[in-house]
Amino acid sequence: MKPTISLIVPCYNVQDHVQPALQSILDNISATDHARLQVLIVNDGSTDQTLEKIEQFIAEKWYSTIRHHIITQENAGLSAARNAGMAQATGDYWLFLDSDDIFINQALDKIIAAIGQHAPDIIEFDAVKFRNHHWENKGLYADYFPQTENLPLAAHRLRAFEENRWYVWSRCYHKKLFENQIFEYSKLFEDMMTVPYLYLAAQHIFRLPENLIGYRQRDNSIVASLSHRHLRDIFYGVEKAMAAETRYPEFKTELTVLQYKNWRLIVAESIKRFLKTRDWAYLQDVQTYRAQMRHNFGRDYGWQFGYFGGVLMKKLLKKV
C-alpha cells in the first residue's frame, strides 16, 4: 500500500488568507494522488469569518476525492491546534501548512514522489517569502541546501542545528518521530522546541532543495514584535536543550549548538528592544536568565560580546 500523508492546517483569524491556502492544496496535487491525502483543518476559536470562509470553500471548490475534516475548538494557541490535528491524523507522514501560507511549484506532488522513492524520516524543502504580490528571489534555505549535499547523516544533522531554522512547515515527517513529541502548549516559538528533537530521532533525512512554500509576510507576525514573553519562551527552549543532554548524551554537540544559537537570539533581541524602547527590563531579563542558568545547570553563556563584536565588524568591513 502506498504511504499516505496527513496535512494539518491550523487556523486563527485568517479570513483573508485561508481560502488561498486551501486552494494551494488543490493546485499542488495530481488527481491520481488525491486518495493519499488527508487534510485536517483546525479552527482555533477564530473570532472573525475564518470558519465561514473555510466552510464556503469546502462547499464550493473542494474535491470530494480528498479526505478532509474540520476541527473546531476554543482558542488554545497554535501548538494546541497542531496537536488537535495530529490526534486525528491517520497518514504515514505528517505535513503542516500555516493558514496564511501557500504551497507552490507542485509541492505535494514532489513530496509524495520523494516519499515513494526514498521513504525518509524527514523531507526538507525550501520556502520563499512574499508580501502581497512581491516575491523574494532567494529561498530561506538557499545557503543551507548546497552545504548539506552528499553529507552523511551525522554531519547533515549538525548542519541543521547550526542553521537553526526550525520552521515545522518546511519539512515533512514520518509519524513515528512524533511518538514521544507534541508541540509545547502555551509557548511561543514552539517550532524550535519541537523540530530539533525530531532530527535527533531521524535516521534518514532527504533533501528536496526547491521552493515549495510561499511564506507570507505580515506586519503583525511574532518575530516583528518580540516582547518579554517571547524572549522568556525562547529561554525556556534553551533550558529544555540543556536538560535534554542527560537524555541524549550522544547529541551533546547538537544540543550545545542549539543552546548557543537561541541564547544569542535572546541577547541580540534584548539589546535591540532596549535601544528602541529604553526599557531596562530587557537587559535585566538577560541577567535573570544568566542567574537561572548558573543555578540550574552550572553554566553561564554571558553577553556574547565577542560574538556580536565580530558580527558588527564584518558588517562594517563590508561597507568599507
Q: Which residue ranges make up each domain of the chain?
A: 5-216, 226-319
Q: Which of 266, 117, 313 is nearest to 258 (CA)?
A: 266
Mean pLDDT on 70-74: 98
Pick the range with the lowest mean pLDDT from 34-43, 151-160, 212-221, 239-248: 212-221
**Of 194, 203, 206, 198, nearest in space to 175 by CA:** 198
For residues 236 and 162, give the distance between their C-alpha atoms in angstroms, rounded to a whole number.
Answer: 19
Q: Does domain 5-216 have CATH number 3.30.70.270?
A: no
Contact predicate 102/213, CB 8 Å:
yes
For residue 227, the model assigns a pLDDT of 85
pLDDT for res 222? 47
Mean pLDDT of 169-182: 96
* Residue predicted with more confidence, 224 or 50: 50
User: Cα separation of 233 and 193, whole Å?
Assistant: 9
Q: What are phi and psi of 319, to 5 degrees?
A: -90, -10
Q: Are 224 and 216 in contact (CB under 8 A)?
A: no
Amino acid 303 reads W
Judge contact between 178 and 194, C-beta under 8 A. Answer: no
Can you tell me the mean pLDDT for 257-263? 96
Cell (9 digits) for 263? 541564547
**pLDDT score of 263:** 96
Decide if pLDDT at 64 tops 90.
yes
Quote the pLDDT of residue 315: 63
3-class SS of residue 218: coil
Between strands 5-11 and 37-44, the pairing is parallel
Could you tell me if 107 and 28 are in contact, meaning their C-beta atoms sit under 8 angstroms apart?
yes
d(CA 49, CA 9): 16
Cα–Cα distance, 183 to 95 (Å, whole number): 14
Residue position matching grid coordinates 529544555: 240
> Across all residues in the chain, what is the average pLDDT?
93
At 318 the pLDDT is 61
Place of cell 535591540: 272
CA–CA–CA angle 34, 94, 106 (5° rounding): 50
pLDDT score of 1 more than 80: no
Among 188, 140, 144, 142, smallest CA distance to 162 is for 144
For residue 150, the SS3 value is coil
- Asked whether the CA dihedral 138, 144, 145, 147 is positive or negative, the reply is positive
Say yes or no to pLDDT of 320 above 70. Answer: no
